[in-house]
Amino acid sequence: MATPVPAEQPTILVLGDSLSAGHGIDVNDSWAQLLQQRLHRLGYPYRVVNASISGDTTRGALTRTGQALGQHHPRILIVELGGNDGLRGLALDDMHGNLAAIIEQGKKAGAWVLLIGVRLPPNYGEVYVKKFHGVYRELARSYGIPLVPYLLDGIGGHADLMQADGLHPNGAAQARMLDNVWPYLLPLLEKK
């Protein structure tokens, strides 16, 4: 009698920047690693692959999206990018186009896509900041994908949850970041 071969675990691919890469903290304490632990604890058979790179822009991530999708064949693609584009004052049309291309590649590869919004400090100017935030809403609407409005909701502006640079969350903030993502991810975990 043949021994049944276990089905390969479906993959969640996190494509992000320093906020998801665990910049400045032990990577095992990052929200993406906590996601893996929560999935295991709750009986979801997913494997989390964190392909996030500190300092990455949407353009940089776009250049490696195809390879990452081909290598990991994710069922779910989590896209957390754009913060570095905004902090560098890069053209929002370029950011929009890069994120759109990443989303399209993910969908074409058969993945459910979850977009995570980030925010800029107000000192970048009201018009730029408003347009920056609007990019995420417009992409989510256009592609019919869920949007986490703000990854650092309840974290940004709280010194006890931020590293000394004021930009990156510390280890104590990671569970809250996961809680901000979870309600938007959960419906995708149930899809077949």
Any idea which residues carry the catalytic annotation?
A: 18, 165, 168
For residues 136 and 115, what is the distance between their CA atoms, to the nearest angstrom?
Answer: 8
The residue assigned the tokens 């290598």 is: 71
Beta strands of 35-166 (E only): which ranges?
47-50, 76-80, 112-116, 147-148
CB 33 within 8 A of CB 177: no
The residue assigned the tokens 């790179």 is: 53
Computed from CA positions of residues 75, 186, 34, 116, in that sequence, does the dihedral angle turn out positive or negative? positive
